[in-house]
Structure 1
Amino acid sequence: MDGPSPDRPRTDRPRTNSPRMDRLRAARPPYPDLFAGALFWGTQMLASAMLGLYLRNGLQSSRLAEVATLYFLGGLLSWPFALPVARFFAYDRPPEARFAAFFVTLTAATIAMTAFLFAMEYRLFYSRWHAPFGSFVWAFQFVFTSISAVYQFLVIGLRLFLPLGLVCLVVSSYHLAKRMR
């Protein structure tokens, strides 16, 4: 039978003799999707955090600009990692599996990148009381300060992704899954 099977989604890229190479080629997104998507995803995460702050305390925060920057950069910097990984797992899968791949990957990458940025900011603040760089004590302090910051972000910061971040995640995952055939 010529053409794609009704059970298997079509791909935009030509197939080779190697399924592994096909999957790797499909994982590489077009550059406009990578750059424009990163800006759009970062803006969505910024809007999500601002709505979350507004619903919780009416945007009454002395660190509003820092929070906005953190969530924007978390979304912006997570997209270039999440999109190729999700496309890799979504390649040649049914629509439900593609949606799940984008949903899980965008969730994990966005939370991980935002938590990482929060941990580095947290570490920067406490570094003035830490041992000199490169020492064993410094390494110990770096690791445990970072772990504490990630835990604090997971407990306090994840709430700012709700409710709008979940809506953005579902819509974006659906759009990406439909677009990748």
Structure 2
Amino acid sequence: MISERLKAARPSLSELLIGALLWGAQMLTSAMAALYLRNGMETAHVRDLAILYFVGGLLAWPFMLPLGRFFAHQRSLETRFAAFFVALAAGTILMTAFLFAMDYRVFYSAWHAPFGSLTWVFQFAFTGASAVYQFAVLGLRLFLPLGLLCLFGTSFALAKRMR
């Protein structure tokens, strides 16, 4: 049973590569559309945000597609849709927040203690937690409204495609 699910969860290389590029492009488009709607893209960090949201989607896809397929295997259309919806939403948000936290960490590392020290561990943990919190408050809204539509459409397409 588990081996059958694992086999069904394995996507082809083209599904991984093309899907990752398309999902990254959708997240990039979502972020840029949200920035345009909110403030006409009047920010000095448009390029950095574009890269962050594209790479967040790009790197989330190869992990979340197999996970969604694993939970969707031999289920009803509604359950397959829910599996892909939850996997893609959670994975994309977590990957983008992680990348934001690592960028945040790189910026503040100049003021941190030497690598490996106990102080460094605390600074790393709290800098990361602060970055994730800041992303949750400010960054999640860049997935709306277009990212939610992309999520619905992509989840539905994946659910219909998988039998």
Q: Which has the higher helix share?
A: 2
* Shorter-chain TM band: over 0.9
Secondary structure, in 3 states, of the residue corresponding to 2:74? Answer: coil
What is residue 114 of structure 1 aligned with on the other side? Answer: 96
Matches within 5 A, 1:123-142: 123-142=105-124
Displacement after TM superposition at 1:21 (Å)? 1.2
Q: In the alignment, is residue 158 of structure 1 matched against residue 140 of structure 2?
A: yes
Q: In the alignment, is residue 167 of structure 1 matched against residue 146 of structure 2?
A: no
TM-score, normalised to structure 1, is: 0.90
State the percentage of identical aligned residues: 65
Displacement after TM superposition at 1:30 (Å)? 1.1
Matches within 5 A, 1:26-175: 26-175=8-157
Q: Unpaired runs of 5+ in structure 1?
A: 1-18
Displacement after TM superposition at 1:32 (Å)? 0.7
- Aligned residue pair count: 163
TM-score, normalised to structure 2, is: 0.99
Q: Which amino acid aligns with 1:65?
A: R
What is residue 176 of structure 1 aligned with on the other side? Answer: 158
* Aligned structure 1 segments of 4 or more residues deviating by more than 4 angstroms: none
| Equivalent-residue separation in structure 1 for 2:4 and 2:12 (angstroms) | 15
- The structure having more radius of gyration, on CA atoms, is 1
CA RMSD of aligned residues (A): 0.4
Q: Which amino acid aligns with 1:44?
A: Q
| Equivalent-residue separation in structure 1 for 2:137 and 2:70 (angstroms) | 31
